[in-house]
Structure 1
């Protein structure tokens, strides 16, 4: 789709998760040597045209095709990594060179199973090969479907473009045999172009009666040069001799990853990718940090002579298992208490594995044969890991990493080692592969960043690192572990680079960037206790989501205008009996006391379905998220809600307490609880009743917002549940989680309808879901009519600062246009354009 001759919007050629080039596990693509672009990990079997244009090159091995768009942009579409080696097996090209194609037209089809089994990776590239003339700006970095907006292509502004001078001097020529596996396909061609661009001379390649300039990627690939073909290189210009030597070297030296025998001995040693002193990896959690590199080594076991006493070794193993079980249970309890769902899911899986009879039986069998408990446990885990990894499933390979975590933890307990690493604060930790337990321990010790020789960007460690805000890089390769202990390094996770020999200037630059970030946060924090008011005078309340009185005190210290959501489940989980009215009252009063004179919104118990209580047995459900939970449980077990309401009505001052009802779907549910609350107030002799609000977390409630607002004092939107119920996607589903985006236009329309319905009865609307903590969403929510944002305590200063830079009337005008967009990615792109993040 054209906006003019300079700007072009490219649609997704494949369906799947989107990656930046820096995250592509290939040094040539990741370094940008081929040009700007984007990558997709495909879920479908057909590559489509991202725009209208002409096919200017088709790879002879059928794995790549290049289009020239009508505005002149040249787009290489490359399916998978190292797929050239398949020699066309599994690929069916659907177009020919010179053909005119339309936007969305199928270009090539491939056999997913066959290609996936034989190539390095299915990650596929869309590369702007003439990036010197055009710029690529991503519209989205989330999952896409074929045809959705993916990139903006904008022509670069070249001031006073001059006619290119003709090369002067004698033309010199050399001959060489191509060493690159598969010939001069896209990746080696990019290196040849990059080499040529390092010189002033003009260089050409000649083969089979055709010629191409070395600065044209399309031209080079169009020569169809194969492996071991003899080619001629010509250079003309002031540094022609040096250019020729460098090009002959580049053509005769296989890419580092190919492990392929080079042809003639290079005359000039010029390694451009990977860079000297830089290890390339994949970003697992973003961030830029500098610090001393410290390597963590795996536990080495003492030799086992065998002939051990089986009964004694069983007892030793049981003691260690009990200790680790207790540690994981404690971690799990904390994660539940603080609503750290990612952490909770990971360690719940660890607990299940620890109790797996197959592991224990294998270890016990070895012990019965005289093996020491340490070796028996280690061998049992290793055998299970081997089985999982041979199955070729990424999900099962991740489960193998969980097993290795348990192996380490139990071995530490068996060997009596303290669960502690001796590391200085600010260290950048290097390891073969870290485990979730390692990460929790290291984050508590104040390390600055993490890097691993292996691992994946979607691993449990990566998820936890992102949650902790800890820069993390994976897949850096074995040479990471050969680096000198304590050397100063720069970890640029977003750029996928570990710089091993940073200059003093580079270290100073990184330190300055960190100082700037800290200063910005300090400035935001200094203003965090001031009201959040837009430039045109609209006041927005910025409250906090908390789960205890300690968190409430922290929220007040961080500048919270109140508590927008107190989750009362923290009182009910991980215990054998329900808390009585007295215990509940003390807990709620403690939160009110911790918040000074500010109001506190307390949500009634939201358990049931997927959140079971040991002392409250409920029937197993096929679809727990759609089952007996929230207010529905209160209807089924009214004594639980009665007890909670009584405890709430005893807090003082009652005027600062607001009660919030979860999972409401119809007005009668609200009226029933309201009548019950008034009856209890009368019973207790109270003249005032606390405000009663409704959570808008199912589409039915949003659509009935006007009717609910007639009987409620306020509405609070829970965007997490509202997203999954509106999009019919489980937000905990590994394959769908990235697509559950609360900036989806359908969600925004429900938020707009909620605010409009509440306004008719002069009720205020807040947002307590994760969307409130996303600064990109702040102007949209304000524009749709939200007046309270309840966020993570650490983000209060940031969100208040964001509010102060917005014009509410402009937010209202632009937000109405956002409702007309077709996808969450389009909304996010528009937000970046209208309200750039600082």
Structure 2
């Protein structure tokens, strides 16, 4: 370790009251197991560098980092207690591991309110982790401001005596699963270090091809060991066996390996308020009303000895009934373009075909079980397997199986899903299922709260899509609340208030009325332009598939049509629409939009979207096959007919043509030449603007070359996401990970905008990302000037634009390109541009 023997005075990294370590509400910090130091109860929202140095460790979740000073002293700064459980929420890192920093530089920006609501304490320890080489003196202060002197560090004159170890005697090693919530972050790493220092043997922890000595706090944290990861521990020395047993105990005991942690019950700040339960927000909102509890179906004991053929027939009939119900749900979701709902129930349909599940039920029936009990037991066995993995995400997926358990049991028992609920009821349950959620939403319940469940579960996704306030992980106490008791569900802050006063009820109604008024104001102002605070105009257009949808978009304030999907004319019929029918359909859309422009995408079928009258070869990978513009190479007559129809709309200058699935410049040039030829045939003096969809990585990488010959570029983030991430967006198991805010996607968007700008071309986004208000500032910051969204969201997105500063968006968005994941980007967006 480098040590230049210089004394050092450290400036305060935070402002606030100064506390001694023994007053920190955490036994590991308070005991000095991590080292000597001090703590600050922060009043500001930024952690600053206490000295010049190098960042030698950054916690994966951004809540802690370590700086090595010029004289070799290493200081760990830990924002709050138990903040690892936030998994990065509320923290925005401003530095990277290995970066050299200057005293006073901002290292981390954090959300005080977010941390205070969800964690044990805001008190933030500052620890000297290599105190064996240094002496530390805390200045006598009651409060401090950032940069003021806080600590003095001087090298020890005599290094501690090192005990010689005879490593030739014993070598021991074993594997162990790390069960500490959140993995081997600072606190559990300190316990491992403290345990190792109690033995003379050398000990190490190994994860894959990486290793760290157990007496090195930084080394242990640097391994990035997550909760549930399996590691190998090795010890060498006279007391190796004893050291190994002690270290295994420390690594495994804390998380209670025998019992998987409850689903998504994130450690949270103990709520000291009377009659308030604290949980985890799954869908924001604020409502009040009577609390009513739903219970799952319970079966009586099974006497057994049933006729196997009869029970199998009963099960088969029930399964087919439920499949039919799910297919109906799927069709309704498709019609309403509810993509997430469609994906969830497509996954349910796949689960009902799972051979492991069906074989287990059939085997039980063959051994004399009733169909009801055989199905229940098969589901519960699969749920147990998922729960035993110890991963919250897998445990949440088990809830989808429980949904199928309830649905098939109802079919077997001849029971319909029916619960009488008063208007405005808040529903509680141990854990609701996706189909429960749809039924409750149809009955216009006000909110949902669950004892268990997770914020990333399918129920949570559906609740957010329905605008239904939902809190999960409230604990068993929520099930003991008397039926009909009047409560307030503050889902935004993850609170269930069990005994609200009349004044509190009145306040909730006032807040909800204000929110309703805000939405009405957004709609009332939607006809006006969307101009940022610093004067940049953003076009907010609409994605439509018919003239009726275009009329809705116009009424909602759309600045134009950013994407007309012409496939609606071609699908679900036995013959292709002729030129006249197409022209009339396109003209109707132009007429519905008044004097605004309309971007019409040429037919995007083929691959997985087959037409009866357009036989194409069967393809192993249809999404990589004959799609979009590639179809013109097989059936040029189809595209010619469509282009002729488009060239006959009036006024032609309001029509822009968009080409899908372009991957190289030659494809664009070929269509451009054909369009010019058709204009000549029809004696048109000017052709309409011609744009290119950027939906394959090749097009994004060639954006500058494409922009040289195209009039505009429009980014289709849905396809661009799946092609960039190599994840089928229709794959039930991967759908949640196909996130267009992934840094790789943002880099492609940035490159597209940069390439277009070199030729003075504008760039729009017509994919789902444009409709996400969280993404609005990012897209503006990267150079997008047009957003095409679903018609109901026009007012919301325009309002979002008006509250942004485009220059600030540009500055902050560049840093997002260097983040590690879509989740990290979303967290940073919430921090920089909170949603109201």
CA distance in 2, matches of 1:503, 1:429: 20
User: Using a 3 Å threshold, how does the CA distance of structure 1 residues 714 and 421 change in structure 2: closer, same or farther?
Assistant: farther
User: Using a 3 Å threshold, how does the CA distance of structure 1 residues 105 and 572 change in structure 2: closer, same or farther?
Assistant: farther
CA distance in 2, matches of 1:316, 1:589: 55
CA distance in 2, matches of 1:449, 1:353: 28
Q: Is the contact between residue 13 and residue 147 of structure 2 (CA under 8 Å) also seen in structure 1?
A: no
| Cα distance, 1:303 vs structure 2 | 7.1
CA distance in 2, matches of 1:402, 1:53: 42
The equivalent of 2:47 in structure 1 is: 8
CA distance in 2, matches of 1:635, 1:489: 63
User: Using a 3 Å threshold, how does the CA distance of structure 1 residues 579 and 458 change in structure 2: closer, same or farther?
Assistant: farther
CA distance in 1, matches of 2:345, 2:182: 34
User: Using a 3 Å threshold, how does the CA distance of structure 1 residues 585 and 752 change in structure 2: closer, same or farther?
Assistant: closer
The equivalent of 2:292 in structure 1 is: 294
Q: Is the contact between residue 744 and residue 823 of structure 1 (CA under 8 Å) also seen in structure 2?
A: no
1:756 aligns to 2:757 (yes or no): yes
User: Using a 3 Å threshold, how does the CA distance of structure 1 residues 110 and 379 change in structure 2: closer, same or farther?
Assistant: same
The equivalent of 1:693 in structure 2 is: 691
Which ranges in structure 2 are unaligned for 5 or more consecutive residues? 1-9, 16-45, 50-54, 65-78, 90-95, 99-106, 109-123, 132-137, 139-143, 152-178, 199-216, 232-249, 256-261, 263-268
| Cα distance, 1:463 vs structure 2 | 2.3
Q: Is the contact between residue 90 and residue 110 of structure 1 (CA under 8 Å) also seen in structure 2?
A: no
Q: Is the contact between residue 724 and residue 745 of structure 2 (CA under 8 Å) also seen in structure 1?
A: no
1:279 aligns to 2:314 (yes or no): no
Which of these residues, 393, 398, 403, is aligned with residue 400 of structure 1? Answer: 398
CA distance in 2, matches of 1:345, 1:625: 17
| Cα distance, 1:321 vs structure 2 | 2.6
User: Using a 3 Å threshold, how does the CA distance of structure 1 residues 114 and 337 change in structure 2: closer, same or farther?
Assistant: closer
| Cα distance, 1:544 vs structure 2 | 1.4
Which of these residues, 182, 185, 192, is aligned with residue 91 of structure 1? Answer: 192
The equivalent of 2:463 in structure 1 is: 465
Q: Is the contact between residue 423 and residue 445 of structure 1 (CA under 8 Å) also seen in structure 2?
A: yes
1:378 aligns to 2:376 (yes or no): yes
The equivalent of 1:619 in structure 2 is: 619
Farther-moved stretch of structure 1 (378-387 vs 585-594): 585-594
The equivalent of 2:766 in structure 1 is: 768
CA distance in 1, matches of 2:825, 2:320: 50
Q: Is the contact between residue 397 and residue 457 of structure 2 (CA under 8 Å) also seen in structure 1?
A: no
TM-score by length of 1: 0.64
User: Using a 3 Å threshold, how does the CA distance of structure 1 residues 462 and 813 change in structure 2: closer, same or farther?
Assistant: closer
CA distance in 2, matches of 1:310, 1:284: 43
The CA RMSD measured in Å over matched residues stands at 5.3
CA distance in 1, matches of 2:82, 2:360: 52
| Cα distance, 1:477 vs structure 2 | 1.8
CA distance in 2, matches of 1:272, 1:817: 35
Question: Could you give the per-residue CA deviations for residues 194-230 of structure 1, whole angstroms, max 9, x where no partner exists?
Answer: xxxxxxxxxxxxxxxxxxxxxxxxxxxxxxxxxxxxx
1:356 aligns to 2:342 (yes or no): no
Question: Could you give the per-residue CA deviations for residues 505-526 of structure 1, whole angstroms, max 9, x where no partner exists?
Answer: 2222322222222211111111
Which ranges in structure 1 are unaligned for 5 or more consecutive residues? 21-31, 60-65, 98-103, 119-181, 188-256, 258-270
Q: Is the contact between residue 14 and residue 48 of structure 2 (CA under 8 Å) also seen in structure 1?
A: no
| Cα distance, 1:373 vs structure 2 | 4.0
Helix, strand or coil: the match of 1:801?
Answer: helix
CA distance in 2, matches of 1:748, 1:518: 34
| Cα distance, 1:718 vs structure 2 | 3.0
CA distance in 2, matches of 1:427, 1:521: 23
Helix, strand or coil: the match of 2:496?
Answer: strand
The equivalent of 1:823 in structure 2 is: 818
Which of these residues, 29, 35, 40, is aligned with residue 87 of structure 2? Answer: 40
The equivalent of 1:451 in structure 2 is: 449
| Cα distance, 1:669 vs structure 2 | 0.9
User: Using a 3 Å threshold, how does the CA distance of structure 1 residues 668 and 299 change in structure 2: closer, same or farther?
Assistant: same
| Cα distance, 1:560 vs structure 2 | 1.6
Q: Is the contact between residue 58 and residue 96 of structure 1 (CA under 8 Å) also seen in structure 2?
A: no
| Cα distance, 1:95 vs structure 2 | 11
Question: Could you give the per-residue CA deviations for residues 468-497 of structure 1, whole angstroms, max 9, x where no partner exists?
Answer: 332222222222222222222222234332
Question: Could you give the per-residue CA deviations for residues 146-182 of structure 1, whole angstroms, max 9, x where no partner exists?
Answer: xxxxxxxxxxxxxxxxxxxxxxxxxxxxxxxxxxxx9
Question: Could you give the per-residue CA deviations for residues 728-767 of structure 1, whole angstroms, max 9, x where no partner exists?
Answer: 88878478556944698735632541441341xxx44322
1:80 aligns to 2:181 (yes or no): yes
The equivalent of 2:266 in structure 1 is: none
CA distance in 1, matches of 2:331, 2:456: 24
| Cα distance, 1:587 vs structure 2 | 6.3
Q: Is the contact between residue 720 and residue 745 of structure 2 (CA under 8 Å) also seen in structure 1?
A: no
Question: Could you give the per-residue CA deviations for residues 665-718 of structure 1, whole angstroms, max 9, x where no partner exists?
Answer: 322111222333455566778787543211233454345445433433322233
| Cα distance, 1:535 vs structure 2 | 6.1
Helix, strand or coil: the match of 2:764?
Answer: strand
The equivalent of 2:499 in structure 1 is: 501
User: Using a 3 Å threshold, how does the CA distance of structure 1 residues 537 and 499 change in structure 2: closer, same or farther?
Assistant: closer
Farther-moved stretch of structure 1 (816-825 vs 428-437): 816-825
Q: Is the contact between residue 285 and residue 462 of structure 1 (CA under 8 Å) also seen in structure 2?
A: yes
The equivalent of 2:39 in structure 1 is: none
User: Using a 3 Å threshold, how does the CA distance of structure 1 residues 435 and 543 change in structure 2: closer, same or farther?
Assistant: same
CA distance in 2, matches of 1:758, 1:16: 41
CA distance in 1, matches of 2:386, 2:560: 49
Q: Is the contact between residue 740 and residue 746 of structure 2 (CA under 8 Å) also seen in structure 1?
A: no
Alignment of 1:500-539 (within 5 A): 500-534=498-532, 539=537
| Cα distance, 1:608 vs structure 2 | 5.9
User: Using a 3 Å threshold, how does the CA distance of structure 1 residues 4 and 673 change in structure 2: closer, same or farther?
Assistant: same
| Cα distance, 1:453 vs structure 2 | 1.5
CA distance in 2, matches of 1:383, 1:829: 36
Helix, strand or coil: the match of 1:91?
Answer: helix
CA distance in 1, matches of 2:667, 2:11: 51
CA distance in 1, matches of 2:552, 2:457: 31
1:488 aligns to 2:467 (yes or no): no
| Cα distance, 1:417 vs structure 2 | 3.2
The equivalent of 2:747 in structure 1 is: 746
The equivalent of 1:242 in structure 2 is: none
CA distance in 2, matches of 1:94, 1:726: 46
1:55 aligns to 2:158 (yes or no): no
Q: Is the contact between residue 332 and residue 347 of structure 1 (CA under 8 Å) also seen in structure 2?
A: yes
TM-score by length of 2: 0.64
User: Using a 3 Å threshold, how does the CA distance of structure 1 residues 523 and 721 change in structure 2: closer, same or farther?
Assistant: same
Helix, strand or coil: the match of 1:470?
Answer: coil
Query: What number of residue pairs does the alignment pair up?
Result: 652
CA distance in 2, matches of 1:90, 1:5: 26
The equivalent of 2:791 in structure 1 is: 793
| Cα distance, 1:813 vs structure 2 | 7.7
Helix, strand or coil: the match of 2:400?
Answer: helix
